[in-house]
């Protein structure tokens, strides 16, 4: 099944949802970006479905919009990473399952303006939506190993690389705003009491921010790449977050955004949990 066939199916589903009044709004993609990029598109009438797009330039993670519209029933054209974001919201009690209708679309990865697969898509191994209300399959796409396996970095050996990477950061916090895991009404970095942000806007503040954000995203990152895509400074924003994701998977066997029922790993406590997850616990081999 090609993109075209998937797109026609998506249109049909969305039109139907609105005709039957099952949702108030549908969030999908339409034309309108520069260089052929697709942009988020929200509509509330069956005719609106005609303008829907689906191709390799549907990059934006739409789950943040579903979160914005959490007070009403919304249909979302969701790639596997968008689905994982939605599932994460649901598992963390931020979104009612009944308020979101997931149109899960098989996805083999998106490309940039240069036609090259985006770095996070090249690393992605989740190509089929883990949760959905209706799915738009593509039999040519199979879940499995990602084309490009990232070599795990070995903290703290790569601390120097981390330092160099974040030295490029200008602390604009755009990565936080773009992230579906960063929904706190007031971020720790914006709090005055206590003031977590080191006084001078230098390397210390950048470390505080990136380490803080990475630890808050441990076991919550859905690997959508939104944070890295928005960064104007070309920071490898996910560098340390990937490390946290891997740690959580190794130690607790948990990956975020796969089912709505399992308690999020960082919210759950089991006396049998391995010591390694605690400060001062056994050393990370």
Partner 1 sequence: MNNSFVSKETLNKILKELAAAEDVLLYAPVLNGKVLDFAEITDAEKIAISDDISYKSPKEAFMPQAENLMTFSEGGVLESAYDKKTVVFGAKPCDAEALRVLHAVLMTGKFQDPFFERRFENSVLIAVGCASEKPGCFCTERGFDKEFSDFSDIMLRRDEGGTGYTVTHLSGKGRELLSEFNETKGIEAAKRTAKAQGTGMKKLELDKSIEDRELFDIIDWDKATEICQGCGMCTFICPSCHCFDFKDVSTFSETKRYRCWDSCMYPQFTLHASGHNPRASVKERFRQRVLHKYLYINKIFGYTACTGCGRCIRSCPAGMNIKKIVESIMEVLP
Chain-centre distance of CA 260, in angstroms?
15
Cα 186 to Cα 257: distance, rounded to the nearest angstrom: 23
In this structure, are residues 53 and 31 in contact, taking their beta carbons and an 8 Å threshold? yes
Min CB(215)–partner 1 separation in Å:
21
Name the residues that contact ligand SF4, by CB under 6 A.
169-175, 178-181, 217, 221-227, 230-231, 233, 235, 237-238, 241
Question: Where on the phi/psi map is residue 58: left (φ > 0), alpha (ψ -120 to 50), or beta?
Answer: beta
* Contacted entry of ligand SF4, partner 1, none for residue 237, CB cut-off 5 to 8 Å set by kind: ligand SF4
List the helix and strand counts (H, then E) for the chain. 9, 5
CB-nearer residue toward partner 1: 170 or 268: 170
Min CB(49)–ligand SF4 separation in Å:
25
Sequence-distant (≥ 6) Cβ neighbours of residue 131 within 8 angstroms = 83, 86, 87, 102, 104, 258, 259, 260
Min CB(227)–ligand SF4 separation in Å:
3
Name the residues that contact partner 1, by CB under 8 A.
32-35, 37-42, 60, 64-65, 113, 168, 170, 172-174, 177-178, 190, 199-201, 226, 229-230, 232-234
CB-nearer residue toward ligand SF4: 45 or 262: 262
CB-nearer residue toward partner 1: 200 or 261: 200
CB-nearer residue toward ligand SF4: 91 or 237: 237
Chain-centre distance of CA 89, in angstroms?
11
């Amino acid at each position: 099944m090609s993109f075209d066939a998937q797109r026609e199916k998506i249109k049909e589903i969305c039109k139907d949802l609105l005709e039957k009044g099952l949702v108030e709004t549908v969030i999908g993609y339409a034309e309108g970006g520069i260089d052929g990029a697709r942009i988020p598109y929200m509509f509330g009438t069956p005719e609106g479905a005609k303008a829907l797009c689906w191709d390799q330039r549907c990059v934006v993670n739409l789950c943040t919009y579903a979160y914005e519209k959490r007070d009403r029933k919304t249909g979302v054209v969701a790639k596997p990473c968008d689905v994982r974001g939605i599932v994460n919201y649901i598992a963390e009690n931020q979104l009612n399952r009944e308020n979101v209708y997931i149109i899960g679309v098989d996805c083999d990865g998106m490309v940039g303006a240069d036609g090259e697969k985006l770095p996070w898509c090249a690393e992605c191994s989740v190509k089929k939506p883990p949760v959905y209300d209706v799915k738009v399959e593509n039999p040519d796409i199979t879940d499995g190993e990602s084309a490009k396996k990232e070599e795990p970095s070995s903290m703290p050996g790569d601390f120097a690389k981390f330092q160099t990477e974040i030295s490029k950061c200008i602390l604009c916090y755009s990565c936080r705003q773009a992230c579906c895991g960063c929904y706190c009404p007031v971020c720790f970095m914006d709090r005055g009491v206590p003031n977590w942000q080191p006084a001078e806007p230098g390397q210390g503040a950048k470390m505080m921010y990136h380490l803080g954000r990475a630890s808050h995203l441990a076991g919550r990152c859905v690997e959508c790449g939104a944070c890295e895509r928005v960064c104007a400074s070309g920071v490898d924003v996910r560098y340390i977050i990937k490390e946290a994701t891997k740690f959580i998977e190794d130690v607790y066997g948990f990956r975020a955004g796969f089912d709505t029922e399992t308690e999020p790993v960082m919210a759950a406590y089991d006396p049998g949990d391995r010591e390694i997850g605690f400060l001062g616990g056994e050393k990370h081999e």
